[in-house]
Amino acid sequence: MTGNPMKFNNKVLLTIVPSVFVLDQLTKLAILKLVELGDRIPVIPGFFDIVHFRNTGAAFGMFSDAHHSFRVPFFYAVAVVAIVAIAFFYRSLPEREKLMPVAFSLVLAGIAGNVLDRIFLGSVVDFLSFHLGDAALDFTLFGARKHIPLEWPAFNVADSAITVAMGLLIWSIVREGRRKGGA
């Protein structure tokens, strides 16, 4: 019996999306159950903490101050457009392409994890926090005193998947440019 072997792209999609999605949701569930909202648990003191924050905005809290009536439909619309675009491009990927299916799968998993949070919690659970102790930049700008802690905004597994995917996409574009440019 000769079976039709599954294409590499489909294997990647069917492996990465559920794996990353489940890891994202399990880690968020653990945070919801074990860490009080707003708490910070040092893992590597002065550098890395497990936290429990909620993000009603996008990356780095963008749009978190926007009115709910704009913010919620906007995030769902962006997710739908991204999923449709990825599906369109994914279907047209050549079988020899190995990097883009991974990147697209990571983005889909990340979108799914954060959208599920928004649907059921109204915000995204963030729990990984990196910082440089209590260090901050203190300065005056146009007469206003500024205090900016040297801390990366808290994030989660879904955010990490999307970030890694963006790195892979950039690498793929640069690699393709070099290939075509002969550099």
What one-character DSSP code corresponds to residue 58? S
Strand 124-141 with 40-44, pairing: unpaired
The set of catalytic residues is: 126, 159
52/77 Cα distance (integer angstroms): 26
Nearest to 44 by CA among 114, 146, 132: 132
Residue 63 phi/psi, 5° resolution? 70, 5
In a domain, 162, yes or no: yes
Question: Tell me, what amino acid is at 8?
Answer: F
pLDDT of 103-140, one tens digit each? Answer: 999 999 999 999 999 999 999 999 999 999 888 899 99
Nearest alpha-carbon partner for 47 in 127, 156, 129: 129
How many domains are contained in the chain?
Answer: 1
Residue 126 lies inside a defined structural domain of this protein: yes
- Domain that residue 93 falls in: 8-32+46-181
pLDDT averaged over consecutive 10-residue blocks of the chain (183 residues)?
A: 71 97 98 98 96 86 77 89 94 89 97 96 96 90 91 95 95 84 62
Q: Is residue 55 part of a domain?
A: yes
Distance CA 161, CA 41 (A): 23
Mean pLDDT rounded to a whole number for the chain = 91
pTM for the full predicted model: 0.86
Chain segment 141-154, per-residue pLDDT in tens: 999 999 888 899 99
Q: Residue 180: CB partners within 8 Å, gap ≥ 6? A: none
Tokens of 68: 């709910």
